[in-house]
Amino acid sequence: MNNTSTPLCKWLALSLLIVVLDQLSKYIAQQHLGYAQPLAVMPSFNFTLLYNRGAAFSFLSDAGGWQRWFFVTVSLLASIALVIWLSRLQRQQRRLALALALVLGGALGNLIDRLWLGHVVDFIQLYYRHWYYPAFNIADSAITIGAVLLIWDSLRARREAR
């Protein structure tokens, strides 16, 4: 292993860790939760097993089935692009690498669900009184955190360029 491949392996290992935690948590949720039956954890936080055939916020969930393969294709292409992007980063671009590794791990976690189950397993539910945020999972959380870090890194890079 040469000196430049070490950081890539580290970031890919983080992506793999996200995938493992995501799949393990989804397995546990499916084994211990009844479908659409909230289990109160604390005020404003439930575990609720739900299946999402669409994308974020159930986008295209009622599209008739073609969306599964569309999202599988998009996830595969995005994952390949993320690995290539990660492999081209310089050592000092740690925040960007972290962001990409989180998005990659999340994308792969949900991709596995789509391939094997035909839907994504969600189980984390946040709410306030009668307002419920759409259920999500660890993969979704990793993608969201990664996206926020990407935006932050982009804004910092612009500021530093000035």
Q: Give burial (CB, 10 Å; 0-12/13-18/19+) of 101.
A: buried
Beta strand 131-132 with 120-128 is antiparallel
| Contact of 122 with 106, CB cutoff 8 Å | no
| Contact of 82 with 108, CB cutoff 8 Å | no
Residue 153 annotated to the active site: no
Residue 62 annotated to the active site: no
Mean pLDDT, each 10-residue run in order, the chain (162 residues): 67 98 98 97 96 69 68 94 96 95 98 95 96 95 97 85 73
Q: Which of 108, 111, 101, 107 is nearest to 146 (CA)?
A: 101
35: Cβ contacts below 8 Å, ≥ 6 apart: 49, 50, 51
Q: Which of 22, 113, 140, 153 is catalytic?
A: 140
The pLDDT value recorded for residue 64 is 63
The pLDDT value recorded for residue 1 is 42
| Contact of 59 with 84, CB cutoff 8 Å | no
Q: Which of 22, 62, 113, 122 is catalytic?
A: 122
What's the pTM?
A: 0.88
